[in-house]
Amino acid sequence: MSEKLGPILWQLPPQLAFDRQRLEDFFGILPRTTAQASRLAENRDRRLRHPAFLSIRDDRPIRHAVEVRHETFRDPAFVALLRKHDVAFCIADTAGRWPYFEDVTSNFVYVRLHGAKELYVSGYSGAALDRWAARIAAWRDGTAPAAPTLVAEPERRRHRDVFVYFDNDVKVRAPYDAMNLAARLGHGHRVPFPTKAHRAAESERGVEVPRTSWDRGRAVRGKPRHGNVAGRRKLTKEHAERVMTSRARSTRSRGRPTRRTGGRSRRSSTARATHSR
């Protein structure tokens, strides 16, 4: 990615609690330059089946950020550990679902906005974007935001880069919120959200809802993953019926006898085509 390479975000799962030694060991092996990352990748194992591109044009610094989702990380020892290893704490707005604090731990600030009131769904009002713009400007300019939520003593103030990402994409609000926030910071201009077109699209295709399972490899409420008809969104009645019909055909096709061609067993072309839908 060359000069386009930004910070690398390490997102920890909600069930992972704060373990000082585990993080100490992990932060200690993180590559800090692209050359270090290339050398580390040379030790990859056989699970990487495709060729790896390890050539680098310039040796560039790599910055790291970590996003946590367990209440035990609300600990001054965690903040101190991040500062020791120069890893940024990801300030994540998750509509109150996961820990939120604003301790700055590196020479840059990393922000993820997942939704103001409903995770991954709700957009940000003009007033909310104004508040975030004020926070971002303070971090950028080396001052402190008004009434910050802190776990540890604040670090020495200095100018910092600030990276902000919107993840409230279920209602396609993310790009509009991003453009309107950037406009408040002097980049681009404000754009209205196309409410009428969005409602028409939802009326035609159904209303999308956020995923309910954070680990897709596990069963959802005791049912296998493939048994969850709705998946990540609320399907229209017609779409759900098509999905069920397709799955019924796939199930029947699995019971068909196989034939051998060239010493290899394979199903009929009809079964394979049906299964691949």
Whether the per-residue pLDDT at 109 is higher than 60: the answer is yes
SS (H, E, C) the chain: CHHHCCCEEEECCCCCCCCHHHHHHHHHHCCCEHHHHHHHHCCCCCCCCCCCCCCCCCCCECCEEEECCCHHHCCHHHHHHHHHCCCEEEEEECCCCCCCCCCCCCCEEEEEECCCCCCCCCCCCHHHHHHHHHHHHHHHHCCCCCCCCCCCCCCCCCCCEEEEEECCCCCCCHHHHHHHHHHHCCCCCCCCCCHHHHHHHHHHHCCECCCCCCCCCCCECCECHHHCCCCCECCCHHHHHHHHHHHHHHHHHHCCCCEEECCEEECCHHHHHHHCC
Residue 203 has what pLDDT? 83
Lowest mean pLDDT segment, chosen from 39-53, 142-156, 211-225: 211-225
Residue 232 has what pLDDT? 40
The per-residue pLDDT for range 54-77, each reduced to its tens digit, is 888 889 999 999 999 999 999 999
Q: How confident is the model at residue 250 (pLDDT cuts 50, 70, 90)?
A: low
CA distance 174 to 163: 15
Whether the per-residue pLDDT at 231 is higher than 60: the answer is no
Residue 235 has what pLDDT? 47
Residue 256 has what pLDDT? 54
The pTM of the full predicted model, rounded to 2 decimals, is: 0.72
Buried b (16+ CB within 10 A) or exposed e, 93-106: bbbeebbebbbbbb
Whether the per-residue pLDDT at 236 is higher than 60: the answer is no
The per-residue pLDDT for range 146-156, each reduced to its tens digit, is 999 999 999 88
Q: What is the mean pLDDT of the chain?
A: 81
More confident residue, 144 or 223: 144
Q: Which two tokens stand for residue 241?
A: 């019926």
Residue 63 has what pLDDT? 97
Q: How confident is the model at residue 228 (pLDDT cuts 50, 70, 90)?
A: very low
Query: Cβ(136)–Cβ(164) under 8 Å?
Result: yes
**Spans of all domains in the chain:** 65-193, 198-250
CATH topology of domain 65-193: TIM Barrel (3.20.20)
Buried b (16+ CB within 10 A) or exposed e, 16-26: eebeeeebeeb
Whether the per-residue pLDDT at 267 is higher than 70: the answer is no
